[in-house]
Structure 1
């Protein structure tokens, strides 16, 4: 059995049967500079508590899987250097070698399943990258959604991706894609897009019932809940399109590939939007955390 190190708060919540929401840790180690990274992480945790659930930030520290971080651990992770970025392919190797790594969407889902946590809040999922027909650059997040029974609340897919192909792959893999409050599938910094979501549910209780029904039917995998960024915080898609295209052209010119593509593009977009992309990113993560807490609360009631 995997030796999971639960934080005191998460352990107490599990013992009491309280709702818990998983959180990834790459936003801390790879998302923004210190101390802003720690401040945002603590704010997102507070948002979950204020919405009636318990946050469980997940990371691998010195080879041990931590589900929930104590305040001092979160502070230390926020200042750590050389932290690995973990997905399905390298999570086990990091743990086996005693390393420290921050979890992406896929790795957080795996850890949440082991910890018995059914809901996970993140920013945006990975997906099919532009030009994937030649590079085959497709995020492991999509296959994780198809096999790991965790409901993932995200602001859609990152806008730097090929969203049409991402939705096509999700459909092929049998992943429910549920838009909240609108018919369009959101694209991270932008709530409105040209893409229609396959499903729409506006009630956290209904989303929780759908999660539970998949379990009762014996269907593998989780759900992607596409929660649009609040309109006042968004950057319109038409404004972002030329900025993203320019960033992608720069990445290609500099031969940026693999795991380096996403952070490179996000940094270029941050620069071109004069920081507005990061402000929007923080707003959408907080918005997703609040919704995830409500869904977890509904699941806790139904499971009880």
Structure 2
């Protein structure tokens, strides 16, 4: 039984030993409205291609795990209603029931590893939610980084989270947290989180070499590469803090919990920033796609 179904373009790239970059699909189904979601998905894929790699957008469609979507599949997914949001816990159930689901960071990492793809570009990872000492709300993304050998390029953890606690959990799980080109950890929409990064690397070649060395050492898990949002697109941490606080209070007032928290907060912050947060989100995703493509190229050079 074939578990992974690569698109023709991804299958050919893998067969040829060319660089491939995995992309998640929740940004399409849960992150943006139609038709902007399709436009951005196409833009991210084009950015990967322009930077020398093949994009592999990952989703479960009618029970089939697709690694790489055709343009027709991408358009259909962008318009589908009621798409499940898949992580490690529910991915197999969705497939077994023949349903359609979009992959989070954790599910995308699983699929990428199954397909033989080592680099994944996303916007931001999940993490420890504020108040987790009472709710125990911690994203499965962190455990996945601790056990699945894929390098994830993100603009840090989402700024709505408890970033110090998220960093502590990643340290406990043995995940290398690398800031690209700076000493400070970025915080999604902002270039600095007010936290010093455990590790710093200044080139895609260094990051690729570290991934290869982890494999040689037999270490489980991946790497988290935190790539700061471009300076002209960032929203300063000082500007965002009160907005995030207001959005979080609104979520508590409305009893929003579990998987619904992140999409609710992102939508509320979009409203409170009058759309500026979405513009920043698009800029950081494209920036991450560029860096991930460079890392994938460097990995191919090492493995050639």
- TM-score tier (shorter): over 0.9
1:111 counterpart residue number: 111
Matches of 1:15 and 1:188 in 2, distance apart? 34
Give the superposition deviation at 1:209: 0.2
- Partner SS for 2:31: coil
In structure 2, the residue matched to 1:279 is 279
Mapped pair 1:289 → 2:292: no
Aligned position for 2:57: 57
Provide the residue aligned with 1:239 in structure 2. Answer: 239
1:182 to 2:212 alignment: no
Distance 1:248 1:292 in 2: 31
Aligned to 1:230: 230
1:198 counterpart = 2:198: yes
**Counterpart secondary structure, 2:56:** strand
Residue by residue over 1:121-165, the C-alpha shift from the partner in whole angstroms, topping out at 9 and shown as x without a partner, is 000000000000000000000000000000000000000000000
Once the 2 structures are TM-superposed, how far is the Cα of residue 197 of structure 1 from its aligned partner? 0.5
How many residue pairs get matched?
A: 304
Q: Which residue of 1 aligns with 2:68?
A: 68
Task: Give the structure 2 partner of residue 37 of structure 1.
Answer: 37
Q: Equivalences for 1:93-112 in 2 at 5 Å? A: 93-112=93-112
Cα drift, residue 12 of structure 1: 1.1
Alpha-carbon offset, residue 4 of structure 1: 1.6
**What is the distance in 2 between the residues matched to 1:19 and 1:140?**
27
> Are 1:47 and 2:64 counterparts?
no
SS at match of 2:55: strand
Alpha-carbon separation, structure 2, partners of 1:208 and 1:277:
31
| C-alpha distance in structure 2 between counterparts of 1:139 and 1:64, whole Å | 24
Equivalence for 1:138: 138
Deviations 1:228-273 (Å, cap 9, x if unpaired)?
0011100000000000000001111111100010011001100000
CA apart distance, 1:2: 4.2
Give per-residue Cα distances to partners, 1:171-217, cap 9 Å, x unaligned: 00000000001101110000022100000001100000000000000
Tell me which moved more, 186-195 or 130-139: 186-195
Q: Cα offset for 1:5?
A: 1.3
Runs (4+) of structure 1 moved beyond 6 Å? none
TM-score, normalised on structure 1?
Answer: 0.99
1:45 and 1:278 mapped to 2: Cα distance? Answer: 18
TM-score (norm 2): 0.99
Partner of 1:16: 16
Question: How far, CA to CA, are the matches of 1:81 and 1:251 in structure 2?
Answer: 23
CA distance in 2, matches of 1:26, 1:250: 23
Instruction: Tell me how large the CA RMSD over aligned residues is.
Output: 0.6
**Unaligned stretches of 5+ in structure 2?**
none
Task: Name 2:259's counterpart in structure 1.
Answer: 259
Counterpart-to-counterpart distance in 2, 1:2 and 1:273: 45
**1:3, distance to aligned residue in structure 2 (A):** 2.5
Question: For 1:266-291, what per-residue CA distance to the aligned partner results, in whole angstroms no more than 9, with x for missing partners?
Answer: 01100000000000000000000000
User: Matches of residues 149-168 of structure 1 in structure 2 within 5 Å?
Assistant: 149-168=149-168
CA shift at 1:169, angstroms? 0.3
Give the equivalent residue in structure 2 for 1:7: 7
Distance 1:250 1:90 in 2: 28
